[in-house]
Chains A and B, each alone.
Chain A
Amino acid sequence: MLIPPAPRAVIFSLGLQLLSWLCLAPQVEAQVIVPGLAGDHALSEAQVGELLITELRCAACHEGISAIGATVPRAPRLDEASWRTSPEYLKAFILDPAGSHPGAKMPDVLARFDPEVREDAAAAIPAYLSVLAREQRAGPGSVFEREPVDAARVARGRTLFHAVGCIACHAPMEPAFDDGELPDTAAGAVGLGHVASKYSLASLSDFLFQPLRVRPAGRMPDMGLSRVEAEDIGSYLLAGVSMTEASDPVEVELAELGEALLQKLSCVSCHDLQGLSAPAPVTKGRNLDPNGGCLSADSKETPRYQLSDAQRAALRAALGTKAKEVSDAARIDQTLTAYNCIACHVRGEQGGVSLELAPYFGTSEPELGDAARIPPPLTLAGAKLNLEWMQRVLFDGEKVRPFMDTRMPQFGEVNLAHLPALFESVDHLDPLVPLGFDGDEERRAARDGARKLLGTTGLACVACHNFNGKETVGFKGIDLVTSHERLKFSWFKRFVVDPQEYRPGIVMPESWSGGIAAHTEILGGDTDKQISAIWDYLSLGRSARDPQGLSSVSQELVVGNRTRTYRGRSQIAGFRGIAVGYPGGLNYAFDANNGTLSGIWRGRFVSVRWDGQGAGGFNPSSRSIRLAQDLSFYKLKDLADPWPLKPFMDKENPINPDPQYPRNRGYRFRGYHLDQARTPTFMYSFGELHVTDKCEAFLEGERPVLRRLLSITASDPETIWFRALTGEVQALGPRAFKTDELEMRLERTDQHRLPVGETLLRFFGEEDPKQELLIQLNIPRGTSTWRIDYELLL
Chain B
Amino acid sequence: MNCFFEGCGLALALSFCLVPANAEDLGDTWGTAKREREYYRIVQLAIPEGLVIEAGAFHRLPDNRMAIGTRRGDIYIVDGVDGVKPEPVFELFATGLDEIFGLEYKDGSFYVTQSCELTRITDTDGDGEADRFDTLSAEWGYENYHEYAFGSKFDERGNIHIALGLSQSYNSRALFRGWALTVTPEGKTVPMASGMRSPAGIGPNEHGALFYMESQGPWNSACSLKAVSPGSFHGHPVSLNWYEFAPELGPTPAQPKSGSRILIEKERVPELVPYAVIFPYIRMGRSISGFTVDRSGGRFGPFEDQMFLGDFSLSVVLRATTEKVNGVWQGACYPFREGLSTGILNIQFTPEGRLLTGGTNRGWPVRGIKPFALERLEWTGKMPFEIERLSITPTGFHVDFTKPVDVTTASDPGSYVLGTFTHIYHAGYGGPEVDQTKPVVESVTLSEDGLRATLVLDKLTLGHVHEFDLGAVRARDGEALLHRHAYYTLNAIPESR
From B25, B96, B130, contact of A567 by CB (8 A): B96
Q: Does A371 make an interface contact (CB < 8 A)? A: no
Interface residues as binary, A420-451 with B (CB distance below 8 Å gives 1, 0 otherwise): 00000000000000000000100110011001
The interface size bin for chain A is: 35 or more
Assembly CA distance A226 to B11 (angstroms): 42
User: Are A649 and B21 in contact (CB-based, < 8 A)?
Assistant: no
With A209-B85, A670-B135 already in contact, the answer to whether A613 and B363 are too (CB < 8 A) is yes
Contact B365 A542 (CB under 8 A): yes
A567-B96, A616-B71 are contacts. A576–B138 as well, Cβ < 8 Å? Answer: yes
Please report the C-alpha to C-alpha distance between residue A543 and residue B12 in the assembled complex, in whole angstroms. Answer: 12
Q: B198 to chain A: closest CB distance in Å?
A: 13
Distance between Cα atoms of A481 and B57 in the complex (Å): 27
In the complex, the answer to whether B366 meets A542 with C-beta atoms within 8 Å is yes
CA distance A568 to B142 in the complex (A): 11
> For chain B, which range describes its interface: under 10, 10 to 19, 20 to 34, or 35 or more residues?
35 or more
B44 within 8 A of A: yes
Q: How far is the CB of B228 from chain A (nearest CB, A)?
A: 22
A396 touches B131 (CB 8 A): no
Interface centre among B11, B23, B41, by most chain A C-beta atoms within 10 angstroms, is B23
Q: Is A495 an interface residue (CB 8 A)?
A: no
Q: Does B371 lie within 8 Å of A468, measured CB to CB?
A: yes
Residues 365-401 of A, flagged 1 when their CB comes within 8 A of B and 0 if not, give 0000000000000000000000110011001111000
Of the candidates A543, A592, A675, the one whose C-beta lies within 8 Å of that of B364 is A543
Partner of B44, one of A227, A388, A396, A615: A396
- Complex contact A673–B174 (CB within 8 A): no
Cα distance A482–B99 when bound, in Å? 28
Q: Smallest CB-CB separation from A442: which chain B residue? A: B21
B339: interface (CB < 8 Å): yes
Q: Are B43 and A669 in contact (CB under 8 A)?
A: no
Give the complex CA separation of A574 and B119 in angstroms. Answer: 18
Question: Is the CB of A565 closer than 8 A to any CB of chain B?
Answer: yes
* Contact of B37 (CB < 8 Å), options: A391, A451, A565: A391
Which residues on the B side are within 8 Å of A396 (C-beta)? 41-44
Given the known interface contacts A388-B339, A669-B117, A671-B133, the answer about A610 and B72 at a Cβ–Cβ threshold of 8 Å is yes
Measured in the bound complex, the distance between the Cα atoms of B20 and A451 in whole Å is 11
Residues on B with beta carbons closer than 8 Å to the beta carbon of A542: 343, 361-366, 371
Return chain A residues, CB-CB under 8 Å to B147: 575
Q: Which of B93-139 contact A (CB under 8 A)?
A: 95-99, 114-117, 119-120, 124, 130-135, 138-139
Nearest B residue to A536 via CB reads B25
Cα distance A615–B144 when bound, in Å?
A: 11
B141 beta carbon closer than 8 Å to chain A: yes
Which A residues are CB-close (under 8 A) to B365?
540-543
Shortest distance in angstroms between B176's beta carbon and chain A's nearest beta carbon?
A: 8
Q: How far is the CB of B355 from chain A (nearest CB, A)?
A: 16
A residues less than 8 Å from B120 (CB atoms): 671
Residue of A nearest to B114 (CB): A567
Please name all residues of chain B whose beta carbon is closer than 8 Å to the beta carbon of A481 when the two chains form the complex.
Answer: 369
Q: CB within 8 Å of A: which of B139-159?
A: 139, 141-144, 147
CA distance A479 to B369 in the complex (A): 10
Contacts of A388 in B (CB 8 A): 33-34, 339
Contact indicator B73/A673 (Cβ below 8 Å): no
Residues of chain A contacted by B245 (CB below 8 angstroms) = 659-660
Tell me, yes or no, whether A693 is within 8 Å of chain B by CB: no
Q: Contacts A543-B24, A660-B175 given; indicate if A673 touches B369 (C-beta within 8 A).
A: no
Assess whether B73 is in contact with A545, with CB atoms less than 8 Å apart: no
Quick one: given A443-B21, A543-B364, A576-B116, are A656 and B143 in contact (CB under 8 Å)? yes
Q: Tell whether, in the assembled complex, residue B134 and residue A613 are in contact, meaning their CB atoms are under 8 Å apart.
A: no
Chain B hits for A564, CB < 8 A: 96
Chain B residues contacting A395 (CB-CB under 8 Å) are: 37
Q: Which residue on chain A has the smallest CB distance to residue B172?
A: A655
The answer on a CB contact under 8 Å between A659 and B175 is yes
Given contact pairs A615-B99, A669-B117, A541 touches B361 in the complex (Cβ within 8 A): yes
In the complex, are the beta carbons of B135 and A391 less than 8 A apart? Answer: no
The answer for the CA separation of A392 and B72 in the assembled complex, in Å, is 29
Q: Is B51 an interface residue, CB under 8 A from the partner?
A: no
A507 to B404, CA, bound (A): 57
Q: How would residues 473 to 506 of chain A score, 1 for a CB under 8 Å from any chain B CB and 0 otherwise?
A: 0000001011001000000000000000000000
5 A–B contacts, CB within 8 A, in A order: A447-B19, A541-B367, A576-B117, A613-B8, A671-B120
Chain A residues engaging chain B, CB cutoff 8 angstroms = 209-210, 213, 222, 226-227, 387-388, 391-392, 395-398, 440, 443-444, 447-448, 451, 468-469, 479, 481-482, 485, 539-545, 564-569, 574-576, 592-593, 610-616, 649, 654-656, 659-660, 663, 668-675, 678
A545-B20, A593-B116, A615-B99 provided; 10 other pairs, C-beta below 8 A?
A: A444-B18, A541-B366, A542-B361, A542-B365, A545-B15, A613-B364, A616-B73, A654-B173, A656-B174, A673-B131
